[in-house]
Structures are given as structure tokens and as C-alpha cells.
């Protein structure tokens, strides 16, 4: 059975760096991760240099190309029953349509969610990345992704067969909880879970609470 792997979470949480190391070795070594931000920047630069002197028009063309390229690669993977790996954001319900599509095609879905404790950390990391020539993101979009990703995950988590939630606020990532088909299989003690996990993922937090109580741990 083919697998879909998704890297998601806050802007600047480490999807393109830290996240890839939580993929299985054969997948990481043999499959390209579809990185929309990176491909968009490359295409925009190419279009601006060759096709148009307007940065606004270059952005429009690059955005349309990116959408078509993603759809082409998704369709190709499904047609071949092949694994697929991509990173992105899921702040709206329609962002989950791709997950539905793979599930309908018989894929096992895996999500690696990288979270930060506050949007201010996300903004700071994006700023530092932009200074180094990386992808910049406006503050309003950072906040939208920060809270939207969490809200939608809390609502749609049952679409994910295997879910890892990882806090990357500090220099050393911390795996908070692991879920399989909507059930907790491992978690840190309640007192070690960050506030954002309890506040922004109440459905998942409740599952963790029940799991730990049944295992003999108390809050």
C-alpha cells in the first residue's frame, strides 16, 4: 500500500530542515519532498528574469505554475500507486482536500506536525531566514498559518493514520505525542506538554489525557 507523507506546522518551525529527519530513511533518501515555497521562489525568479519585468506578474505566473505542477505530481503518484511527500500549510478546510484524495486512492497517510510556542517565534525565524535569502512571509500570513494549522489539525486529525506532533521552539526538538488512527500510542506526561498543545489542540489533548490516566499517570 502506498504512503502519503506530509510535513506541516508553523512558518519557521523547521519543515524543510528538521522535519525531513522524521521521515523513514528509505523515503527521505529516495523521494523528493515537494516544497511549494522553494519551487515558487525558483519559478518566480526565472519568470522575472526571462518573461516579464513585473514582479507582480511574475508572482502570478509562478503561483499558477506551482498549482498545476503540484496537481500533475499528485496525479502521477496516484496513477502509479507510488509514495508521495510534500510540505505545506493547512489553515483552511479546503487544504485537506488533497489528503482526502490520497485516502480515497487507498494511501496510508502520515503527518509530521512541527509546532512553536508562539507566533512571535515564527515571525523571528522567518525574518532571520529572509535575511539569509530565504522565503519571506508577511506577519498576517504567519499568524494565519500558525493558528489555522492548529485549528484544522484539531478538527481533521482522524484523516491522518500516523501523526507525530513535535515542538521545535527550542534548539532540540521535542516529540510531544504519537497517534495511530486517532488513538494515542505514546505521549509525554501532561505536565511536560507545552501550553499551545492544550490550548490549540483540545481534542488531541483530551485523547492524551485519557491515555495517560488509563496508563496510570495523573496530571
Evaluated on CA atoms 101, 107, 108, 113, the torsion sign reads: negative
In a domain, residue 219? The reply is no
Do both 26 and 39 map to the same domain?
no
User: What is the pLDDT at residue 217?
Assistant: 67
For residue 69, CA distances in Å to 6, 57, 101, 156, 171 come to 17, 18, 16, 26, 34
Do both 58 and 134 map to the same domain?
no
In a domain, residue 174? The reply is yes
In a domain, residue 190? The reply is yes
Span 17-54, pLDDT tens digits? 999 999 999 999 999 999 988 888 788 888 777 777 77
From 82, 116, 149, the end of a domain falls on 82
Residue with cell 499558477: 64
Residues 168, 176 contacting (CB under 8 angstroms):
no
Do both 210 and 112 map to the same domain?
yes
In a domain, residue 136? The reply is yes
Number of domains the chain is built from: 2
Do both 67 and 26 map to the same domain?
no
Indicate if the pLDDT at residue 179 is higher than 60.
yes
* Average pLDDT value for the chain: 92
Do both 163 and 55 map to the same domain?
no
Whole-model pTM: value is 0.92
Do both 52 and 76 map to the same domain?
yes
Strand ranges, E, within the chain: 3-9, 34-35, 84-87, 108-115, 162-167, 174-180, 183-187
Domain of residue 94, CATH code: 3.40.50
Do both 96 and 198 map to the same domain?
yes
Do both 132 and 63 map to the same domain?
no
Strands 183-187 and 108-115: unpaired
Do both 203 and 104 map to the same domain?
yes
In a domain, residue 101? The reply is yes
Q: What is the DSSP string of 10-67?
A: STTS-TTTTGGGGS-HHHHHHS--EEHHHHHHHHHHHHHHHT-S-HHHHHHHHHHHHH
In a domain, residue 27? The reply is yes
User: What is the pLDDT at residue 52?
Assistant: 73
Do both 58 and 24 map to the same domain?
no
Half-sphere exposure at residue 117, Cβ-oriented, CA atoms within 13 angstroms: 9
Indicate if the pLDDT at residue 12 is higher than 60.
yes
Do both 183 and 204 map to the same domain?
yes
Report, in this order, helix, strand and coil percent for the chain, each rounded to 5: 55, 20, 30
Question: What grid cell was written down for 156?
Answer: 481533521
In a domain, residue 107? The reply is yes
User: What is the pLDDT at residue 141?
Assistant: 92
In a domain, residue 192? The reply is yes
The boundaries of the domain holding residue 183 are 3-31+86-214
Do both 19 and 46 map to the same domain?
no
DSSP state of 101: H
| CA proximity to 201, closest of 160, 170, 165 | 165
Amino acid at each position: 500500500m502506498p504512503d502519503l507523507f506530509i510535513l506541516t506546522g508553523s512558518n519557521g518551525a523547521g519543515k524543510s530542515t528538521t522535519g525531513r529527519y522524521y521521515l523513514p530513511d528509505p523515503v527521505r533518501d529516495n523521494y523528493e519532498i515537494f516544497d511549494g515555497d522553494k519551487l515558487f521562489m525558483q519559478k518566480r525568479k526565472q519568470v522575472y528574469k526571462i518573461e516579464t519585468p513585473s514582479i507582480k506578474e511574475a508572482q502570478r505566473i509562478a503561483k499558477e505554475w506551482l498549482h498545476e505542477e503540484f496537481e500533475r505530481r499528485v496525479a502521477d503518484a496516484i496513477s502509479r500507486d507510488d509514495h508521495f511527500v510534500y510540505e505545506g500549510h493547512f489553515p483552511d478546510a479546503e487544504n485537506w482536500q488533497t489528503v482526502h484524495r490520497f485516502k480515497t486512492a487507498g494511501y496510508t497517510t502520515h503527518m509530521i506536525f512541527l509546532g512553536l510556542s508562539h507566533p512571535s517565534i515564527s515571525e523571528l525565524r522567518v525574518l532571520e531566514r529572509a535575511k539569509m535569502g530565504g522565503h519571506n512571509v508577511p506577519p498576517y500570513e504567519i499568524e494565519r498559518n500558525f493558528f489555522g494549522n492548529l485549528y484544522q489539525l484539531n478538527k481533521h486529525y482522524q484523516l491522518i493514520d500516523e501523526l507525530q506532533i513535535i515542538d521545535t521552539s527550542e534548539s532540540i526538538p521535542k516529540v510531544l505525542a504519537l497517534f495511530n488512527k486517532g488513538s494515542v500510542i505514546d505521549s509525554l506526561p501532561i505536565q511536560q506538554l507545552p501550553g499551545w498543545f492544550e490550548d490549540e489542540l483540545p481534542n488531541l489533548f483530551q485523547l492524551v489525557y485519557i491515555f495517560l490516566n488509563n496508563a496510570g499517570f495523573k496530571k
